[in-house]
Chains A and B, each alone.
Chain A
Amino acid sequence: GAVVSQHPSRVICKSGTSVKIECRSLDFQATTMFWYRQFPKQSLMLMATSNEGSKATYEQGVEKDKFLINHASLTLSTLTVTSAHPEDSSFYICSATQDRPGSIQYFGAGTRLSVL
């Protein structure tokens, strides 16, 4: 099946710093990538939908200036958590899909962000 690589798998940073998370589709072109946030023992909450070459669409309640998303190519999307604070600590997961009927989302392995 298709492979989505997410990097880093774990990051610890100081409060006030910015962190970039990369999501790459390794063997297919992803017209759309999704970014999710998952709190402990909870489900995935969609943060934003990212289409190649256009601005991301953010879900209600997600600060677009806080969570910067760039989808510059068909194989790479990045999520930058700007001026991170302890409440931003969470598990972030990306997924990628192609623009065709019946295509499914392929998920990355996730990034555990801990803000001190």
Chain B
Amino acid sequence: AQSVTQLGSHVSVSEGALVLLRCNYSSSVPPYLFWYVQYPNQGLQLLLKYTSAATLVKGINGFEAEFKKSETSFHLTKPSAHMSDAAEYFCAVGGSARQLTFGSGTQLTVLP
């Protein structure tokens, strides 16, 4: 069984500040881990994925995430927030990169 916990349903940062969105997972098998972004009334866009290669994964739009097995975490970061980063972010875990279990989501607000 797999599960994902996203700490903080809402995160607010100032433009230019560090973005940190937290994700912890539970998986009985080596996990595939993903971060997706969703803009209002749209589907999900893949930001990045971890599939057992490098533990530090770089994605699109300047985002990156680090897989820490000892902490069962896969937190998403971006050094400097931009107004266009405001969106809903979902962490997901998949045992075979096919069926996914999503976290509850984190709404990121970027303040001017």
User: Which of B13-21, B38-46, B62-70, B72-80 contacts its partner?
Assistant: B38-46
Distance to closest chain B CB from A12 (angstroms): 14
- Most chain B CB atoms below 10 A, which of A43, A95, A102, A109: A43
Shortest distance between the CB of B11 and any CB in chain A (Å) = 15
- B81-98: CB near A (< 8 Å → 1, else 0) gives 000000000100000111
Is residue A67 within 8 Å, beta carbon to beta carbon, of the partner chain? no
| Pairwise interchain contact B49-A104, C-beta atoms closer than 8 A | yes
B105 located at the interface, meaning its Cβ lies under 8 Å from any Cβ of chain A in the complex: yes
**Are A102 and B105 in contact, with the CB atoms below 8 A?**
no
Smallest CB separation, B22 vs chain A (Å): 15
CA distance A110 to B43 in the complex (A): 5
Partner of A93, one of B43, B49, B96, B99: B43
The residues in A between 60 and 81 inclusive whose CB is less than 8 angstroms from any CB of B are: none
Interface pair A105/B43, CB less than 8 Å apart = no
Cβ of A35 within 8 Å of any chain B Cβ, yes or no, is no
Across-interface contacts of B102 in A (CB, < 8 A): 43-44
Report A16 CB to chain B, min CB distance, Å: 26
- A32-B98, A43-B90, A49-B99 in contact; A112/B41 too (CB < 8 A)? yes
CB distance from A9 to the nearest CB of B (A): 8
Check if B104 sits within 8 Å of A107, measured CB to CB.
Answer: no
Decide if A43 touches B97 in the complex (CB within 8 Å): no
A97 and B98 contact, CB distance less than 8 A: yes
CA distance A32 to B98 in the complex (A): 8
Contacts of B32 in A (CB 8 A): 102
- Asked if B104 and A105 sit within 8 Å, CB to CB, the answer is no
Known A-B contacts A108-B43, A109-B42, A110-B42; the reply to A43 vs B105 at CB < 8 A is yes
Question: Which residues 1-46 in A have Cβ within 8 Å of B in the complex?
Answer: 1, 4, 6, 32, 34, 41-44, 46
Q: List 24 A-B contacts (CB under 8 A).
A: A1-B46, A43-B90, A43-B102, A44-B102, A46-B99, A46-B100, A46-B101, A93-B43, A93-B44, A95-B44, A97-B97, A101-B97, A102-B97, A103-B97, A103-B98, A104-B34, A104-B46, A104-B49, A105-B100, A107-B36, A107-B43, A107-B44, A110-B41, A112-B41
